[in-house]
Structure 1
Amino acid sequence: MPANQRSPESSRWYVLGAGAMGCLWATALQSHLRRPSATALIVRDEAAVANYPGEITIEGFAGDVQRFQIPAFSSLALAQARSPVQNLVLSCKAQDAESALAGIAPCLSDTSRIVLLQNGIRVQQTLTLHRPPGSVFCLSTSHGAWIKFPYHVVHAGQGNAWLGLLPPANTAAATSALTQLIGELPASDMHISIDHDMASRLWLKFAVNCAINALTVFYNCQNGELLSNPHAKNHLQALCREISELTDAIPECPVLPDLWQHVQQVATATRHNYSSTLQDIQRKRPTEIEHLNGWLCELAGRHHLPCPLNDTLLNHVRQRQTSHF
């Protein structure tokens, strides 16, 4: 059924995960779709629903503040009611993605479209195996956002976003599915483009996150300080060199562009942002480090490749996490 003929229920977009990116994309969708309750949040449980203030506040990088009234439901309530979820943005942490999706499995059909926002690439590869071909999309973004208060998010850096399929499928059907989907997403406001080589895009984002995220925990700083602090900059450059050597040697990794140059661009564009890993450490929550530097070190070990800088940073973040629990 064409998008403009769908019922409000079937055309609603659900965003599972109310972190910084989940809130940012929920409000962007609501602003774009311009329908009452066009977007809804899916949160952990009824306690989270009870604590939800009924609206999300977005503080723009220009200092403007907007508030969006968006309903919230628990995964359990939706699953018990078998409420249909035809359009889903999965924005929870990588380590929670599989269980989160399983929690709303009764709501999903073979025609449900799922857009993945997770860092890394391992979880994307896993989730696409369990869904019908062409129903799982990946969204890679360079937007910067961090949580100032619960459900109050600072959009700290205007970035871009790329939408594609994994595994890539440059066919007429894939192009049609991507074109239809991007028409329903806030393509203009969030600068979304279609990418037919999503694997390369995700590997590059993975490499950038491996370079930036753990290092912001090590120096306890915003992204931009990795470049303005001379010692941190030297550390970052050395880390990029090691990551590039690893990705060049790992057979499953596609050829990537110059990582140091790309990392400098991302750190500059998101200079006022706190990486998601540092935000998790500050909020005493589990991080995605096992899906970033942890997985890189695992891949390096499989191929007998040394990775001392990544290994040191991985252990540093693990120790910081352990001290919370």
Structure 2
Amino acid sequence: MVIKKVSIIGLGALGILFGNQLAKKLPRTDLRIIADQDRIQRYKEDGVFCNGERCDFNYVMPQEVCEPADLLIIAVKFNGLDDAIQAVKQHVGEKTIILSLLNGITSEEIIGEAYGRDKILYCVAQGMDAVKVENQLTYDHIGMICFGGNETEKVNILAEFFEQVEIPYEVDPDMLKRLWGKFMLNVGVNQTVAVFESNYGAVQLEGPARTMMISAMREVMSLSEKVGVRLSEEDLVYWLKVLGTLSPDGKPSMAQDVEARRFSEVELFSGTVVKLGKRYNVPTPVNQVLYQQIKLTESQYTME
């Protein structure tokens, strides 16, 4: 099998980032952006821009009958996952490889229940500093996609494809640990930057924000022991180094959501940590504070 047809659902930061790169390398009709009619109309009228360049995307509606994708990339927010799973039905065939670029540690399981675990390759997008404001995406570092799994043939097919389209990647034989490591980073950096109304620079330097971020990450480390993943100090250092490569002026997705007065993925981060803490009797005081502060901020959206 060779990957020729690619479908993407979700034009947030990662959907635009990797969609734009794929659009430069694939025939226009071989890359399909799945969206409803209203979104497509808005995308066509207002445009979608990546580093100032208008993206020439091929849009298709969910109900359109089409040839299944060889690679399906799901890049929606977690609260849009259920709708996305329904919307991609026409694009999933027997041999389709599915990648989830969602944050958190649960999306692969949810997608796998709908379309089969054998189609999923565990995946983490890391190292990018993309910032999306309305229809404009800007970034300095494209980052990379890390993936792996037991389906060796699919892993090799995807690696060959990423070589072809020049998307940086890394194959990791221990993707569950990588997934939890990225979750640990997101729990710390996304929420802390949002609460401090700052940027990556605020957590790259010593100070109250960085202290809070690392404390939140350590709570995830404690939980990882309970589920058999066992994140270590070495993993903490690794992800802090990843954070250190990002543009200080950049902002994670949750901070961008709060700034734009959109409801965030807080349930995916501290919401998940607090629930797991209760299940495994692990204290999570820092994540409880972060959860409460972000929920308080969001409660004020409807009051003004």
**8 A Cα contact 1:111 1:135, kept in partner:** yes
Q: What TM-score, normalized by structure 2, do the two folds share?
A: 0.88
Query: Using the alignment, how far apart are the partners of 2:288 and 2:189 within structure 1?
Result: 14
Q: Does 1:3 align with 2:13?
A: no
Of 100-109 and 19-28, the range deviating more from structure 2: 100-109
**8 A Cα contact 1:300 1:307, kept in partner:** yes
Match of 2:281 in 1: 304
Q: Residue 313 and residue 51 in structure 1: after superposition, are their counterparts in 2 closer, same or farther (change >3 A)?
A: same
Query: Which string of whole-angstrom CA distances, capped at 9 and with x for unpartnered residues, describes residues 297-322 of structure 1?
Result: 11110011111101110111122222
Of 181-190 and 117-126, the range deviating more from structure 2: 181-190
Q: Secondary structure at the match of 1:232?
A: helix
Q: Secondary structure at the match of 2:118?
A: coil
Letter in 2 for 1:310: N
Letter in 2 for 1:205: K
1:88 corresponds, among 69, 72, 84, to 72
Match of 2:41 in 1: 50
Structure 1: gaps of 5 or more residues:
5-10, 60-64
Provide the identity percentage.
18
Query: Using the alignment, how far apart are the partners of 2:79 and 2:229 within structure 1?
Result: 21
**8 A Cα contact 1:297 1:310, kept in partner:** yes
Q: Residue 276 and residue 232 in structure 1: after superposition, are their counterparts in 2 closer, same or farther (change >3 A)?
A: same
**8 A Cα contact 1:211 1:263, kept in partner:** no
Structure 2: gaps of 5 or more residues:
none
What is the deviation of 1:125? 2.1
Query: Using the alignment, how far apart are the partners of 1:82 and 1:246 within structure 2?
Result: 44
**8 A Cα contact 1:244 1:259, kept in partner:** no
Match of 2:116 in 1: 132
What is the deviation of 1:175? 1.7
1:51-130 pair list within 5 angstroms:
51-53=42-44, 56-59=48-51, 65-75=52-62, 79=63, 81-86=64-69, 87-130=71-114
Q: Does 1:293 align with 2:292?
A: no
**8 A Cα contact 2:33 2:57, kept in partner:** yes
Match of 1:196 in 2: 173
Query: Using the alignment, how far apart are the partners of 2:13 and 2:24 within structure 1?
Result: 17
Query: Using the alignment, how far apart are the partners of 2:218 and 2:2 within structure 1?
Result: 46
**8 A Cα contact 1:89 1:117, kept in partner:** yes
**8 A Cα contact 1:215 1:236, kept in partner:** yes
**What is the Cα-based RMSD across aligned positions, in Å?**
2.3
What is the deviation of 1:252? 4.1
Q: Secondary structure at the match of 1:196?
A: coil
Between Structure 1 and Structure 2, the one with more helix by share is: 2
**8 A Cα contact 1:163 1:193, kept in partner:** yes
Query: Using the alignment, how far apart are the partners of 2:238 and 2:200 within structure 1?
Result: 13
Q: What TM-score, normalized by structure 1, do the two folds share?
A: 0.83
Q: Does 1:148 align with 2:141?
A: no
Letter in 2 for 1:292: F
Match of 1:62 in 2: none
Query: Using the alignment, how far apart are the partners of 1:83 and 1:256 within structure 2?
Result: 46
Letter in 2 for 1:49: I
Q: Residue 126 and residue 149 in structure 1: after superposition, are their counterparts in 2 closer, same or farther (change >3 A)?
A: closer
